[in-house]
Amino acid sequence: MFIKDLKYVIPCQSRFSHHYIPTTDTRVKQAFQELKHLLSELYSSPLPRSLAVCSQQEYKFVRSIQQLLHCRTDIVIRRRDKSKVFYIGKAIDFERKAEEYMLKTEAYQEITNGRSPLSDILCAVQTSLENLVRRQILTSKQQNQIPPKLNQLELGHYHGLPAPHKPNTLLRPIIACINGPTTLVSKVLNALLPPIFLSVVRETTFINDIDVIRKLEKYVLDGLFQSTTKFIVIDVTDLYTMIPREGALRAL
């Protein structure tokens, strides 16, 4: 169960764009009805004995793991980075690696006094937005689109996902800040800035895997692909640029 890492490769849609069938086509409607009937039969049919036995074994296996984790507080289970597989490790190792990462990047701070800085961050964001409105850099309508949701506010926090494919099983930093004071601001900026950025660097920027294939095909058709052409893979060890909060607010 834990080693069945499901993967799905998105097909290049341009390959099939000339061979599609409208959903209103009679053949499509008939196929959907047959598929619905088949699924209904499979759902209502009793499970084969071999499959039922296998399901019971997997259920007992999962229950045994749950009981083990409940009794062993020194063990933690985490979903692997970029995978649906689970990783079981020692809690002390997770704590040590998280502390080492925080010391190395100097981008995170542990709250030891019990006082959350959430109110200070909220005040700073609101003050900055009001200042932008007074300077007529931001309109009141735009300000109303990005106010922090006070009933859902949450302090952004760090947690790491283990990456066993990396040396020493590094922890991939994940920042949970979906309900942070600056989330709506970042969404607006994310909608405004990419078109400006892509207008300048579109020719040398890959948007997705399909875009890579198309650009590579064009590269070959233009006669630029040679036997000496190199493909370089860059591995980013620290995903987040360490920008101090004060610098980010000034950038707004």
Query: What was the pLDDT predicted at 12?
Result: 54
Query: Does the model's pTM come out above 0.85?
Result: no
Query: What was the pLDDT predicted at 152?
Result: 85
Three-state DSSP class for 157? strand
Contact 129, 182 (CB under 8 A): no
Query: What was the pLDDT predicted at 4?
Result: 42
Q: How many residues does the chain have?
A: 252
Strand partners, 90: 75
Sorted by sequence, the CB contacts under 8 Å of residue 206 that are 6+ apart come out as: 212, 215
Strand partners, 170: 163
Query: What was the pLDDT predicted at 251?
Result: 58
pLDDT tens for the 252 residues of the chain, in order: 334 444 444 555 555 455 566 767 788 888 888 999 888 888 888 878 888 899 899 999 989 888 888 888 888 888 887 777 888 888 899 889 888 888 887 777 888 888 888 889 889 888 988 888 899 888 888 888 888 888 888 888 888 888 888 788 888 888 788 888 888 888 888 888 888 888 888 888 888 889 889 988 999 999 998 989 888 877 766 665 555 556 655 655
Sorted by sequence, the CB contacts under 8 Å of residue 207 that are 6+ apart come out as: 198
Query: What was the pLDDT predicted at 57?
Result: 93
Give the domain ranges of the chain.
24-71, 77-108+117-251
What angle is formed at CA 170 by the lines to CA 164 and CA 174, rounded to 5 degrees?
105
Query: What was the pLDDT predicted at 59?
Result: 93
Query: What was the pLDDT predicted at 88?
Result: 84
Three-state DSSP class for 65? helix
Q: What does the alpha-carbon distance between residue 80 and residue 169 come to, in Å, rounded to a whole number?
A: 10
Q: What does the alpha-carbon distance between residue 1 and residue 118 come to, in Å, rounded to a whole number?
A: 40
β-pairing verdict for 86-90 and 157-163: unpaired
Query: What was the pLDDT predicted at 7?
Result: 46
Q: What does the alpha-carbon distance between residue 44 and residue 35 come to, in Å, rounded to a whole number?
A: 14
Query: What was the pLDDT predicted at 20?
Result: 64
Query: What was the pLDDT predicted at 18?
Result: 55
Query: What was the pLDDT predicted at 8?
Result: 44
Contact 146, 129 (CB under 8 A): yes
- Return the DSSP state at 3: T
Q: What does the alpha-carbon distance between residue 57 and residue 10 come to, in Å, rounded to a whole number?
A: 33
Residue with tokens 């300048």: 200
